[in-house]
Copies of this chain bind each other. A is one copy, B any other.
C-alpha cells in the first residue's frame, strides 16, 4: 500500500551525516532514528553499494558521506531504497480471449509510467543539501 519507511530512513541517515560531518556509527544513527542499529546497517549497506557513503571499520569508525550533499538527489536515494514497480498490475494474467483482458495491461502501463515519472521528477529536484538546509532553518527558529 505504501512506499516503505526505508526511503524516509535513508534520507534521515544521509541528512544526519551531512549535518554532523564526521564518521557516525550505526549505533549513533540508530539513536537519532530511534530504531535498532541493524536496521540502520541494512540501509547503510544499500547506500554504500550505491556510492553515497563510505564506511570505516574499527574504533572511531563509522560512515561518512562519499559525495557532497548538493549532488545527492532524493530520486537517487529513492531508487536505491525502493525496488520494483510502484504500481502493481494484475497478479494473474487477465483473460487473453477478452478484448479488455487482452489489452488493458499496456494501456495501464503507459499511464502508470507517466505518473511515476511525474513523482520522480519532483524527487529529482531536491537534494540532501536542501533537506539539511530545511532542518537547519527549523533549528534556528527553535532557539
A residues adjacent to B (C-beta < 8 A): 1-5, 7-9, 11-12, 15-16, 19, 31-35, 74, 82-95, 98-104, 106-108, 110-111, 114-116, 118-123, 126, 131, 134-135, 138-139, 142
Contact = CB atoms under 8 A, between A and B. Distances in A.
Nearest to A7: B87
Contacts of A142: 102
Nearest to A104: B12
Contacts of A99: 19, 135, 139
Among A11, A98, A115, the one with the most B-chain Cβ atoms within 10 Å of its Cβ is A115
Contacts of A3: 1, 86-88
A114 B124 CA distance: 12
A64 B120 CA distance: 36
28 contacts: A1-B3, A1-B4, A3-B86, A4-B88, A5-B91, A8-B88, A8-B104, A8-B108, A11-B108, A12-B100, A15-B100, A19-B100, A31-B95, A32-B95, A32-B100, A33-B92, A33-B95, A34-B93, A74-B111, A100-B135, A103-B134, A103-B135, A104-B135, A107-B138, A110-B134, A111-B123, A111-B131, A118-B119
